[in-house]
Amino acid sequence: MKLRRRHTSQAEVVSSPLNDIMFFLLLFFLIVSTLASPKVIKVLLPKAEAAQSASKKPVTITVTAEKKYFIDNQEVPFESLEQRLQSSVGEDATVVIRPSRELSVQDLVDVLQIGAKNNFRMVLATTRK
C-alpha cells in the first residue's frame, strides 16, 4: 500500500499590516479629539449614585433696559423684589435671571446680591449666538 502525502494548503491571515492600520487610526482619533474642544478645561468629576433633579419650576426674574423688574411676568418694584422672591422661591427652587443686553452690570449685581443674601440658586439666562 502506497501512502502519499496530500499537499493541502492552509489558510493564513497575515495580521502584521493590521497593526499599522490600527496605529494610524489611533493617532488620527487622538489628534481629532484634541482639536474638537481646545478651550475646554478637563476635570475629573466626582461620581454620584443618584442624580439631582429640579422638582419645582424655576422662578424667573426679568429685568428690562428701563430697570423694570418682573417675577414670572408680574411687575415688581425693586424695593419689594427681595420680599416677593422670598415668598415665591421654595427650598430647592432655582431663580433664572433674564437681564436685558443694555442693562448695566451694577443693576445685575444688585439682583445677584439679593440671591446671595438669601442663599438662592441663581442662574443667568443667555441666548445662543
Q: Kindly report the CATH number assigned to the domain that includes residue 84.
A: 3.30.420.270
How far is residue 103's CA from residue 106's CA, in Å, rounded to a whole number? 8
Contacts for 63 with CB less than 8 Å, ≥ 6 apart:
69, 70, 97, 98, 99, 100, 103, 107, 108, 111
pLDDT digits (tens, 9 = 90+) for 24-70: 999 999 888 877 765 555 555 556 665 555 556 788 888 888 888 98
The number of CA neighbours under 13 Å toward the Cβ of 58 is 16
Is the pLDDT at 125 greater than 70? The verdict is yes
Q: Which one has a higher pLDDT value, 9 or 37?
A: 9
pTM of the full predicted structure? 0.55
Instruction: Give domain status of residue 15, yes or no.
Output: no
Q: What band does 21 get if pLDDT is binned at 50, 70 and 90?
A: very high
Instruction: Give domain status of residue 105, yes or no.
Output: yes
Instruction: Give domain status of residue 42, yes or no.
Output: no
DSSP structure class, residue 96: E
The total of structural domains in the chain comes to 1
3-state DSSP call for residue 47? coil
The residue range of the domain holding 93 is 59-124
